[in-house]
Amino acid sequence: MSLCLPCTGVAVMKFKSPPVNSLSLEFLTEFSIGLEKLENNRACRGVIITSAVPKIFSSGLDITEMCGKSVEHYGEFWRAVQEMWLRLYGSNMVTVAAVNGSSPAGGCLIALSCDYRIMAENPKFSIGLNEAQLGIVAPFWFKDTFVNVVGHRIAERSLQLGSLHPAPEAQRLGLVDELVPEEKLMEKAAAVMAQWLALPDHARQLTKTMMRKAVLDRLVAHREEDIKNFITFVSKESIQKSLRMYMEMLKKRKS
Q: Is 225 a catalytic residue?
A: no
In sequence order, what are the beta bridge partners of 12?
4, 48
Q: Is 30 a catalytic residue?
A: no
Among the listed residues 102, 99, 106, the one whose alpha carbon sits nearest the alpha carbon of residue 124: 102
In sequence order, what are the beta bridge partners of 101?
55
Chain centroid, CA 9 distance in Å: 23
H helices of 114-200, in order, are 140-150, 152-161, 167-173, 185-197
The one catalytic residue among 25, 35, 128, 131: 131
Q: Is 130 a catalytic residue?
A: yes
The one catalytic residue among 61, 88, 219, 243: 61
- Residue 97 has φ and ψ, to the nearest 5°, of -95, 120
Cβ–Cβ < 8 Å for 142, 229: no
Cβ–Cβ < 8 Å for 27, 1: yes
The one catalytic residue among 60, 90, 106, 128: 106
Burial, 124: exposed, middle or buried (Cβ in 10 Å; 0-12, 13-18, 19+)?
Answer: exposed
Burial, 18: exposed, middle or buried (Cβ in 10 Å; 0-12, 13-18, 19+)?
Answer: exposed
Non-local (6+) Cβ contacts of 5 within 8 A are 11, 12, 38, 41, 43, 44
Q: Is 106 a catalytic residue?
A: yes
Q: Cite the active site residues.
A: 61, 106, 130-131
